[in-house]
Amino acid sequence: MLKVNSINCGIVIDHITAGKGMKIFEKLKLADAEFPVVLLINVSSNKRGKKDIIKIENKIDLDLTMLGLIDPTLTINIIENDEIINKMQVSIPEEVQGLFKCKNPRCISNFDEYAVPKFELAHKNGKIRYRCSYCEELTSYSI
Amino acid sequence: MNLKGRHLIDPNDFSLEEFKQVFDLADKMVEYRDAFGSVCKGKILGTLFYEPSTRTRLSFESAMLRLGGTVLGFSDASTSSVSKGESIADTIRVLDTYADIVVMRHPKEGAPMLASEYSRVPVINGGDGGHQHPTQTLTDLLTIRRLKGSLDNLTVAFCGDLKFGRTVHSLVSTLARYNANKFVFISPAELKFPEHLKETLMEKHNIEIYETESLEEVINQVDILYMTRIQRERFFNEADYMRLKDSYILTRTKLVDAKPDMLVMHPLPRVNEIAYDVDDDQRAAYFKQAELGIYARMALMALQLGVDVNVEGK
Ligand SMILES: [Zn+2]
């Protein structure tokens, strides 16, 4: 297996569903980073066959809502002096604002910039959908 | 439970107690209408109609005039000075200085809610796209309460286009909040009551729903038959439309099997879904329903404005 040096201070986003690493890399705007960042894709994983990993050699602010929305199974490890000092789990967010748009073409939020809908998680089992606070239509998210 | 200063965007904005408050006052207004002729003296209703709806607008205007208030507004945004591209948030922050209460009709869903977030005066949703039309729901409930004496323990059938009919969606969701109401949905397969709404209702209220394509099958079992329009263009093909169109038309002949005290309701305007020969049947309630719409709106606005409704003579 490809060897990548571990980082001694920073963040490792682990257990990313294979194929979603690139999306997260983009959303965190890591291409513009001024510090070392590694994106690993299709790494073999005991649990799930394959996974993606992102290693960031810096402490940056992570939008956990956004990460949970893209991939609720990933884990976040905060590393200091070569040790994991904090492990975080994300989850499917109950409420989301500003990360995606309402899919209803008749919704005011698609015409008026003042209308920024709050999306409430509508179905926990099975399909993940969000209910728009303005039009109440369900939107299956994609960001 | 004070309705003063409150918006009405969605029927869920009001509790059942608050509905009762509106209906109790509406009942008094029906009985002693003239006594309420100046309770809103000096108050101005702003009618912001971003799309024309003469019926709804006149109903609101009449209601305010009957309370002694005045009205101003526009009835079609394209011919009015409301500029295209201006945010509703900006528009309402100017217009709320011109009026004491506002009714907004808008083709975009959620527009009245956006207005309510920036308005200093109560905003009433007068219909937003295919979404909500809460004063129609108030009207429907008032009609049922007056003519059936209760909003509980009813079997209510909805017939026609149940997929796109916001009137139906609002009324079903609201009746589900009362006790032990049962619902019968009569529609062609293409125009069935939306699955996601059904799920939400069943989750929240544990209600009984029966679905069928045949009006004749169920007409003898229901307390209220709520008819809606079926538009030709909603059908996938002409053959289906031709095959089904007569099944969703109520005629005097079909009424023979119905309970003698059943109510036939319709939000109006009708096209052909209720034959004219039904009009003088005692069960036809749709013109009464339209009339009660004025009283529902009068009571609502008086309470939102917080005017003194303890008039003499009542
Ligand atoms: Zn929306």
Give the pLDDT mean for B98-126: 97
Question: What is the pLDDT, as a whole number, of residue B84?
Answer: 66
DSSP string across B219-235: GGG-SEEEE----GGGS
Residue B1: Cβ within 10 Å count: 8
Among residues B47, B56, B139, B155, the one annotated as catalytic is B56
pLDDT band with cut points at 50, 70 and 90 for residue A26: very high
Give the pLDDT mean for B242-260: 90
Q: How many helices and strands in chain B, by DSSP H and E? A: 11, 9
Burial level of B187, CB count in 10 A (0-12/13-18/19+)?
A: buried
Question: What is the pLDDT, as a whole number, of residue B138?
Answer: 98
ipTM associated with this complex: 0.88
| Chain B residues within an 8 Å CB radius of A134 | 109-110, 113-114
Take residue B191 and report the two structure tokens written for it.
């125009």
Take residue B67 and report the two structure tokens written for it.
């309370």
pLDDT band with cut points at 50, 70 and 90 for residue B116: very high
Please tell me if residue B204 touches chain A, with a CB cutoff of 8 Å: no
Lowest mean pLDDT across A117-126, B90-99, B126-135: A117-126
Where are the alpha helices (H) located in A14-142, listed in sequence order? 21-27, 64-70
- Tell me if the bond preceding B112 is cis, omega within 30° of 0: no
Q: What digits encode the pLDDT tens for the residues B211-245?
A: 999 999 999 999 999 999 887 777 777 887 787 77
Query: For residues B138 and B234, what is the distance between their CA atoms, to the nearest angstrom?
Result: 27
Query: For residues B153 and B156, what is the distance between their CA atoms, to the nearest angstrom?
Result: 9
A113·B87 Cβ contact <8 A:
yes
Query: For residues B160 and B199, what is the distance between their CA atoms, to the nearest angstrom?
Result: 20
Q: What digits encode the pLDDT tens for the residues A57-66?
A: 988 888 888 8
The residue in chain B having the minimum alpha-carbon distance to the alpha carbon of residue A113 is B87
Backbone angles phi, psi at B253, to 5 degrees: -60, -45
What's the CA-to-centroid distance between A138 and ligand 1, angstroms? Answer: 8
What's the CA-to-centroid distance between A114 and ligand 1, angstroms? Answer: 13
B110 and A135 in contact (C-beta within 8 Å)? Answer: yes
Query: For residues B273 and B165, what is the distance between their CA atoms, to the nearest angstrom?
Result: 14
Please tell me if residue B12 touches chain A, with a CB cutoff of 8 Å: no
B110·A111 Cβ contact <8 A:
no
Higher pLDDT, B200 or B128: B128
Q: What digits encode the pLDDT tens for the residues B211-220?
A: 999 999 999 9
What's the CA-to-centroid distance between A129 and ligand 1, angstroms? Answer: 13
pLDDT band with cut points at 50, 70 and 90 for residue B313: low
Residue B251 annotated among the catalytic residues of the structure = no
A134·B106 Cβ contact <8 A:
no
- Indicate if the pLDDT at residue B288 is higher than 80: yes
B118·A114 Cβ contact <8 A:
yes
B110·A114 Cβ contact <8 A:
no
Please tell me if residue A105 touches chain B, with a CB cutoff of 8 Å: no
Take residue B79 and report the two structure tokens written for it.
């011919």
The residue in chain B having the minimum alpha-carbon distance to the alpha carbon of residue A134 is B110
Q: What digits encode the pLDDT tens for the residues A113-140?
A: 999 999 999 875 567 889 999 999 888 8
Q: What digits encode the pLDDT tens for the residues A85-119?
A: 999 999 889 999 988 999 999 999 999 999 999 99
A134·B110 Cβ contact <8 A:
yes
Please tell me if residue A90 touches chain B, with a CB cutoff of 8 Å: no
What's the CA-to-centroid distance between A108 and ligand 1, angstroms? Answer: 7
pLDDT band with cut points at 50, 70 and 90 for residue B30: very high
Sign of CA dihedral A68, A71, A73, A79: negative
Take residue B280 and report the two structure tokens written for it.
């003088």
